[in-house]
């Protein structure tokens, strides 16, 4: 089955700086890669996703890049703000053509924004 590795487990950055979280996956059939933000006591919230026919996607301060050859994808947050502090999860699945499969998640990155 799919295996998703996520690094780092904890990331502390100064407010206003950029943060980068990286993930690798094992199953070359995976073609859907979402990122979730989870705040304490809440369920994961989808913040951005990318499909394998796209190399990069951006939404305001958040961007995701995908390298299918190397089987890795990254989340980039620019101009970080205190409200960005949370745990971020990457995930992978064989989406669309393979059906609405369950997601395989990484272990999460605790992002801390220092004021």
Question: What CA–CA distance (Å, rounded) separates 109 from 64?
Answer: 15
Least CB distance to another protein at residue 108 (A): 5
**How far is the C-alpha of 83 from the C-alpha of 90, rounded, in Å?**
19
Token duo for residue 99? 């059906």
Q: Does 107 bind another protein (CB under 8 A)?
A: yes
In this structure, the number of other CB atoms found within 10 A of the CB of residue 64 comes to 24
CB atoms within 10 A of CB 83: 8
- Which of 21, 24, 106, 111 touches another protein (CB under 8 A)? 106
In the complex, least distance from residue 109 CB atom to another protein, rounded to whole angstroms: 10
Site for another protein in 9-68 (CB under 8 A): 32, 34, 36, 41-46, 49, 51
Length of the chain: 115
Using the rule CB under 8 A, give the single segment among 14-22, 56-64, 66-74, 106-114 that binds another protein: 106-114
Q: Please, which residues bridge with residue 4 across strands?
A: 25
Q: Is 97 in the site for another protein (CB under 8 A)?
A: no
Return residues touching another protein (CB under 8 A): 4, 6, 32, 34, 36, 41-46, 49, 51, 89, 91, 93, 95-96, 99-108
């Amino acid at each position: 089955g799919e295996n998703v590795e996520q690094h780092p487990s904890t990331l502390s950055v100064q407010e206003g700086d950029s943060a980068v979280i990286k993930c690798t996956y094992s199953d070359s059939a995976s073609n859907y890669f979402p990122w979730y933000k989870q705040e304490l006591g809440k369920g994961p919230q989808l913040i951005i996703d990318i499909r394998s026919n796209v190399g990069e996607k951006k939404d305001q301060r958040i961007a995701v890049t995908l390298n299918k050859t190397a089987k890795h994808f990254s989340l980039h947050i620019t101009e970080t703000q205190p409200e960005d502090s949370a745990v971020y999860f990457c995930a992978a699945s064989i989406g669309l053509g393979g059906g609405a499969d369950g997601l395989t998640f990484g272990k999460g990155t605790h992002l801390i924004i220092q004021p």
